[in-house]
Every structure is written in structure tokens, then in C-alpha cells.
Amino acid sequence: MSDMKFETKVIHAGIDPDPSTGAIMTPIYQTSTYVQDGPGKHKGYEYGRTQNPTRTALENNLAQLENGRHGLAFGSGLAAMDAVLKLLDPGDEIISTNDLYGGSYRQMVQIYARYGVVAHFIDFSDKQQFKDTLNERTKLIWIETPTNPMLQIVDIRDVCKAVAKKDILTCVDNTFASPYLQNPLDLGADIVLHSATKYLAGHSDVILGALVCNDEKLAEKLRFLQNAIGAVPGPQDCFLTLRGIKTLHLRVQRASDNATEIAAFLKKSRKVDKVYYPGFIDFPNHEVAKKQMRHYGAMVSFTLKNDSKRAANRVLNRTKIFSLAESLGGVESLIGHPASMTHGSIPKKERLAIGLTDSLIRLSIGVEHVDDLIGDLRESLK
């Protein structure tokens, strides 16, 4: 079945009619335990933290969407990340993208630093910086691409190739692209992480995380951590994520098409200073995005000529269709202010160094009609 096209996999991969009733939709197995025929004689399911059939269907589906062999679901994207970081020992070092999801940065700097894990945040397009940071203690490369919220592109194949012969794991947070646009395992990564809360579930009604990998031993370690820590999703959230995934290709395609038009509109606006969108041919690493992604994604960031929080607030408070909220990847369009919302925990100096200024506004483009979205932005920018 692995030769199915992506559009078929989202609907069928890993999902079989329920063996006991034939139900076409995977049932929500709302149970904490399973009756055994005799001591230790069971049907592969012993306890709800360890296994749940709704979760198994989701995990198998996710694995195939990322062209991987093993999928693991977690209670959130950050819980999935926690499992990856727990592969490390005190003294180990991480090299990570410098423009990172705020919660991922917080986990490395405020939690794992206390356990002796050192994280370096670099610009991967600066090859010398990468070389200088790499050392014998480096055990994990953490890549986000496109990054949040500056939408920088990291060449996944390039970075993975540079450490392929070393005892270093590479993990790509593929949340912003979704597996419809980008498949990091195919480009040499060891682990793919998703906040399924975003595009995968796609309807802003679930918090869920996932990991996908190919290596059997690595999967075993991660599955051990998943069970030993217990940050697993409930069956209802697995069901909702499975349901959301069935339209992933339709949603991400439309949202990305909308984003292309909106980015072009913003670029022409007299009120707008910079527009960050990997689809622009003059955007840094546009060629890499073109090579490793199927489309340029549905996230667009921009700054205002009047670079102040006040000016940004005026725009943020005036949109009627774009809702002011954290998060992304739902069917509805969202507008946000990273400096005071998602990136509040990143020091101002580090924030400004990557161009995340006070007026930077981030858009998560949804699947509404693009004319309504552009009209809403036009009015709000006046």
C-alpha cells in the first residue's frame, strides 16, 4: 500500500474497517483497559497508556504520510518533543535553528538546560557557524523549516548529510509545512515531529503531537519513553485528528494558494515594510524551498513601515475575518503578534537579531475565499 499517492493515503493509510462491526470510521475506543483471555493472553492491547486501537490507527496513518515505518502520538507537540529530548544525556548538546517555536525554545532553555543539556541556536545557512558549533558532544540537530515566524528555509538534505556519518540524531519539526508539503525522512532526517494541533488536525479543536521515524531501534526507544512518561493523547483526540487528516491535502493546497495571493497583495501595500514568504523568488533560500517543498505553505509574516507595537495593534484590532489568536493551521484565518504572544518568552535582543521586530504580524491563512481575506487586510491597514 506504500505506493499510494498522498491524496489516497490521507484517507486510507493504516485505516481498516473495525474488525468487530465493520464500522468504516475508526471507533473511539474509550477504554483504559482490556479483558484478557488468561493471564498474559491478550489481543495486543493491555492498558490504555500503552496501546489504544484509535491511537494505533492514527499512528499508522501518520507514519505513512511521512513515508516512515513508525508513528507515535503524544498529548501535544511539546510532549512529543520532550520524548525526543529525553533521548539525550547530561552533557549532550543540541544545535537548533535560531528562529524557533517559542515553546520549543523554552523547553530547551528553561527545562533541559537544568539537566545539563546545552542548546545552541544558529543560522543554518551560515555554514561556518554550523561547523564552529558542531563538536563531539553534539548529539541532536533540531530543525524547524519554514521557521516560526520568520519563515526562514533550512536545507534539510544538506544539514542531514553533513552529520550522516556521525552519532548525531536529526529531528525536523515539520509542523509548518505538514506532510503534504514536505517529507523530511525522505531528505535524510531521523525523526519528524508534528504539532498535529495545527495542519494535521486542521480545525483548531485538538491538541496532539506526533513523531515518525524509520529506524527500528530508535522507534523502540521512543515507544519506551512514550509509555514510561505517559504523555499520550486520548482516543477522542486521535479520532478528531484522523478525521482532520482526511482533508489535509485539500486544506493545505487551498490555504497555500490563498497565501501566495495575500503575500503578493501585502508586498504592494504602502503601509507594509517587509513581507516574509518563501514563495517570493527573491526570498532567501527560495530555491531550497522550491526543491524540498510541494508548495510554499500558508504562513505569511510582515512588518509595518511604522515599526511599533501601537501600529501593529491597530491592524490586529481591526480585522474582522482574521481572528486574533495564537496557533495556526486551522481552516479559519488567524492573525497574531509574535513579539507579545507566541514569542513572549524569547529575550528582546535575540528577537530583534532575527528581524522579529515590534510591528511583525504573523498570518495563518485559512481556506476562506481569498477576496474576503484580502479585503479584510486592506481595510485593517488603512
Ligand X SMILES: *Cc1c(COP(=O)(O)O)cnc(C)c1O
Q: Could you give the residue numbers annotated as active site?
A: 49, 101, 173, 198
As a whole number of angstroms, the distance between CA 213 and CA 314 comes to: 44
C-alpha cell at 134: 558542531
Closer to ligand X by Cβ: residue 148 or 359 = 148
Closer to ligand X by Cβ: residue 70 or 194 = 194
As a whole number of angstroms, the distance between CA 17 and CA 56 comes to: 13
Name residues whose C-beta falls within 8 Å of residue 82's C-beta, 6 or more positions apart in sequence: 107, 229, 231
For 51, 53, 241, the CA distances from 19, given in Å and listed in that order, are 17, 11, 21
State the nearest-atom distance from the C-beta of 225 to ligand X, in Å: 16
C-alpha cell at 184: 523530511
374 neighbors 262 (Cβ within 8 angstroms): yes
As a whole number of angstroms, the distance between CA 218 and CA 214 comes to: 8
- Distance spanning both ends of the chain, measured CA to CA: 52
Looking at residue 372, its amino acid is D
266 neighbors 275 (Cβ within 8 angstroms): yes
Closer to ligand X by Cβ: residue 193 or 304 = 193
State the nearest-atom distance from the C-beta of 137 to ligand X, in Å: 25
Looking at residue 71, its amino acid is G
State the nearest-atom distance from the C-beta of 338 to ligand X, in Å: 11
State the nearest-atom distance from the C-beta of 176 to ligand X, in Å: 6
Name residues whose C-beta falls within 8 Å of residue 335's C-beta, 6 or more positions apart in sequence: 315, 316, 319, 322, 323, 324, 325, 361, 362, 363, 364
Closer to ligand X by Cβ: residue 255 or 370 = 255
Minimal CB distance to ligand X: which residue? 77
Closer to ligand X by Cβ: residue 7 or 326 = 326
Q: Could you tell me which residues are beta bridge partners of residue 209? A: 74, 195
Closer to ligand X by Cβ: residue 81 or 304 = 81
Residues within the interface to ligand X (CB under 6 A): 76-78, 101, 103-104, 144, 148, 173, 175-176, 195, 197-198, 207, 209
As a whole number of angstroms, the distance between CA 98 and CA 173 comes to: 13
For 73, 177, 247, 283, 314, the CA distances from 193, given in Å and listed in that order, are 10, 11, 20, 25, 35
As a whole number of angstroms, the distance between CA 6 and CA 9 comes to: 5
* DSSP letters spanning 319-337: -SSSEE-S---SSS-EEE-
Closer to ligand X by Cβ: residue 93 or 173 = 173
